[in-house]
Amino acid sequence: MNYNVVIIGAGPAGIFAALTLADLGISGILLLEQGKDLSQRKGQNPADRLCGWGGAGAFSDGKLTLSTEVGGALKDFIEDSVLHQLLKSTDEIYAAHGAPDRIFGENWVQVEELADRARLAGLELIPNRIRHIGTDNCRSVLERFRKSLAERIEISTESEVEELIADHGRIQGVRLANGRSIGAKFVVAAPGRSGARWMKRQAESLGLKTRATSVDIGVRVELPAPVLKEITDTIYESKLVHYSKTFDEKVRTFCMNPYGEVVTEENNGIITVNGHSYAEKRTDNTNFAILVSSVFTEPFDDPIAYGHDIARLANLIGGGVIVQRLADLLAGRRSTRERIDRCLTKPTLSDATPGDLSFVFPYRHLLSIIEMLQALEGIAPGVYSRHTLLYGVEVKFYSNRIDVSSEMETVIGNLFAIGDGAGITRGLLQASVSGILAARAIANRF
């Protein structure tokens, strides 16, 4: 079988590449996804949260960040004003497919007041506007995207790509895990964050130049929603950055979920923790991640493996995700079921194992997390409470960043690498934009 374009991965990057190509009149498009189709994905199954139609973030929570400063590195490829316009138009496509109307963070007076308070607490607030789809809305939005494509392209789910096929510096197609080979004039690799290891292997095989990125390792924090209500009502998700006093390491908040739930994910047999929130349904808690960013230098160049090993250690000790009260962590003791039951913060992840995270994290990570919690107390009293719950481990497996042109093309002719899997983006909106950039470049060559 031969196609004009083969797209690997049906997350936001792959979906928007396909949408753009179809809208520009390109035929002969095949979209391959190793996970299940949307109708078969079960939100309560950790293995289904990362792979399948819609990818990970667009399936589980759906935060659209309208900022050129967060969510990816596309500003390294295109002018800020152009990127801003692309983010705006891409966000409008999500809205046209059913994303809610409300955008948080538009009251700049309130945002600036929060930023001033953050500075006094030793934190930097990165202002951004967010449209939140919500877990309960994500499926319907993704279903509309699928219907928009169904009659115009060929879609094949549960189709794992084994390798990319190239010859004389030009892409020729792909080989599936079942041994079937598919020819293509163009290939767009959008394997998502769960495809980070696969993308690294392909880059090594094809001789693509890559750069190791940071690995973000930390905890999922859960506390009563009123503690962060002022912040979440204003900007929904606060992007706060702190540099730890002891190690001067970058520590940041990530993926804040007002009135949300803590959930688990499965990645290559490793159970990690994450969070999401609904548009309508509410719990009594808010959860968010505190992540410590580490950059390695020679000779080590595999931060993905480092993150996997720390998560694997937590799984070994706790049989999965570990939960601990902050009071117990500071007292140097493990949390027990009885201590968790006495906690004022009632856990939304019931099957987490009470334990001791100090057996899992390196000292520098653990101390940086504690110092971040202390800093957050200055802007939101109650964060550094003995009743705050910490779940571990949360790891963001960012891909090695592949060198691409401003059109997202690699040094292998007609091979494009986009989205989180290429190490270029870290959020839904910039991932979607990277798909548009690649698709426009391909369409121009027809």
Note the pLDDT of residue 196.
84
Note the pLDDT of residue 46.
74
Locus of tokens 């009743």: 387
Q: Report the alpha-carbon distance of residue 231 to residue 246 in Å, rounded.
A: 27
Note the pLDDT of residue 214.
77
Note the pLDDT of residue 197.
85
Provide CB contacts within 8 A for 380, sequence distance 6+.
Answer: 227, 228, 230, 231
**Structural contact between residues 7 and 188, judged by C-beta atoms closer than 8 angstroms:** yes
Least Cα distance to 324 among 341, 307, 312, 336 occurs for 336
Note the pLDDT of residue 379.
96
Tokens describing residue 183: 């020819």
pTM above 0.85, yes or no: yes
Pair type for strands 170-176 and 353-354: unpaired
Question: Is it true that domain 2-105+133-211+401-445 has CATH number 3.40.190.10?
Answer: no
Tokens describing residue 287: 């959860």
DSSP letter, residue 243: E
Least Cα distance to 436 among 53, 104, 88, 182 occurs for 88
Least Cα distance to 145 among 407, 428, 341 occurs for 428
Note the pLDDT of residue 400.
80
Q: Where in the chain is the domain with CATH 3.50.50.60?
A: 2-105+133-211+401-445
Tokens describing residue 180: 């079937």
Note the pLDDT of residue 280.
85
DSSP letter, residue 360: T
Note the pLDDT of residue 31.
98
Q: Across-strand partners of 157?
A: 33
DSSP of 337-393, one letter per residue? HHHHHH-SS--S-TTPEE--GGGTS-HHHHHHHHHHHHHHHTTSTTTT-TT-EEEEE
DSSP of 247-314, one letter per residue? T--EEEEEEEETT-EEEEEEETTEEEEEEE--SS---SEEEEEEEEEE---TT---HHHHHHHHHHHH
Q: Report the alpha-carbon distance of residue 433 to residue 16 in Å, rounded.
A: 7
Least Cα distance to 416 among 15, 17, 11 occurs for 17
Note the pLDDT of residue 45.
75
* Kind plus residue range of the DSSP H or E element containing 189: strand 181-189
Note the pLDDT of residue 1.
76
Pair type for strands 181-189 and 170-176: antiparallel
Per-position pLDDT tens, the chain of length 446: 799 999 999 999 999 999 999 999 999 999 999 999 999 998 667 777 788 999 988 888 899 999 998 899 999 999 999 999 999 999 999 999 999 999 999 999 999 999 999 999 999 999 899 999 998 899 999 999 999 999 999 999 999 999 999 999 999 999 999 999 999 999 999 999 888 889 989 999 999 998 877 789 999 999 999 999 999 999 999 999 999 999 999 999 999 999 999 999 988 789 999 999 988 889 999 999 999 988 787 787 777 788 889 999 999 999 999 999 999 999 999 999 999 999 999 999 999 999 999 999 999 999 999 999 999 999 999 999 999 999 999 998 776 899 999 999 999 999 999 999 899 998 999 999 999 999 999 999 99
